[in-house]
Amino acid sequence: MRMFVTIGQFALFCVAVTRATLTHRPPVAASLQAAYEIGIRSLPILVIISTFVGTNLALQGYNAFKPLGGQSLVGMFVALAGVREMAPIMVAAMVAAKAGTEMASQIAVMRIQEQIDALEVMAVNPYWYLVTPRFAGILLVLPALTIISVFTLLLSSYSVSVFQLGLNGDEFLSHIQQTMSMMDFVFTSVKSIAFGAIICMVSCFYGFYSSPGATGVGAATNASVVVSAVLCSSLNYVLSELLYG
């Protein structure tokens, strides 16, 4: 029962945000600021994790294919698993953990300290002021972060494959080229835009409906990351089926 109430509240929240976004002037400067903050803060951790996901994919691919004599197919494995699946969901998980929790906790504290009520009394729409710039910012920056993650992952898996495992670099790149096309970058961007929308709306929603007190802020932050991760993972399957199936 409680779940249905939450779904109903979330739907109303999405309607309110959409209406506020469409009926007010676009908050360009605030959106660019949000994009910068989400992008810059997430970039270092993203590069580090992508690097090591790439190295491990190369190692696991090599170990899996070697008994079959197909170790030269590591490039194809990295392209399929890493680029199409791992990179978008990994970036979404990191941004949900870093930027999403920040959104949820900031907005929850504003709710508790009556700052959202203050916005309303000052006749400033809180959905437009708080959610719209974050939404635009995350949609701007998430595809870029995902493409950076893709290249970092490919570079690190190439390095391990060639310099540690002794595979032929040209062969590795040729398998990647045969497996991937420009459409993979388009599809990856589509996925990351969908994940960005989910992360922002879910995180802001839990912030807006936070219960009072430190426990309330903690619960809102926790729920934002858990729900974002579950929704992104399940949507990833649906999108993969639609785009590649």
Partner 1 sequence: MADPIIRLVNLHKSFGSLVVLDGVSFDIPTGETTAIIGPSGTGKSVLIKHIVGLLEPDEGQVWVGDVDMATANEKRKYEVRRRFGMLFQDGALFDSMTAGENVAFPLRYHTKLNEKQRREKAEEMMELVELPGVYDRPTSALSGGQRKRVGLARAIVLEPEIILFDEPNSGLDPLTSDTIDELIGKMKRQLGITFIVITHDIVSCVNIADHIVMLNGGKLIEHSPTQSFIRSENPFVRSFLRRNVDLDALKPL
Binding of partner 1 by 123 (CB under 8 A) = yes
Binding of partner 1 by 9 (CB under 8 A) = no
Rounded to whole angstroms, the Cα distance separating 213 from 186 reads 43
CA dihedral 59, 63, 64, 65 (to 10 degrees): 100
Binding of partner 1 by 18 (CB under 8 A) = no
Binding of partner 1 by 28 (CB under 8 A) = no
What is the pattern of x (binds partner 1, CB under 8 A) and - over residues 81-110? -----------------------------x
Binding of partner 1 by 118 (CB under 8 A) = yes
Binding of partner 1 by 22 (CB under 8 A) = no
> Candidates 114-122, 133-141, 175-183, 223-231 — which segment interacts with partner 1 by CB under 8 A?
114-122
Q: How far is the CB of 25 from partner 1 (least distance, A)?
A: 11
| Residue closer to partner 1 (CB basis): 30 or 97 | 30
CA geometry: angle at 32 spanning 82 and 127, to 5°?
100
For residue 118, what are the CA distances in angstroms to 13, 58, 150?
A: 19, 53, 43
Which positions lie near partner 1, rule CB under 8 A? Answer: 110, 113-115, 117-118, 120-125
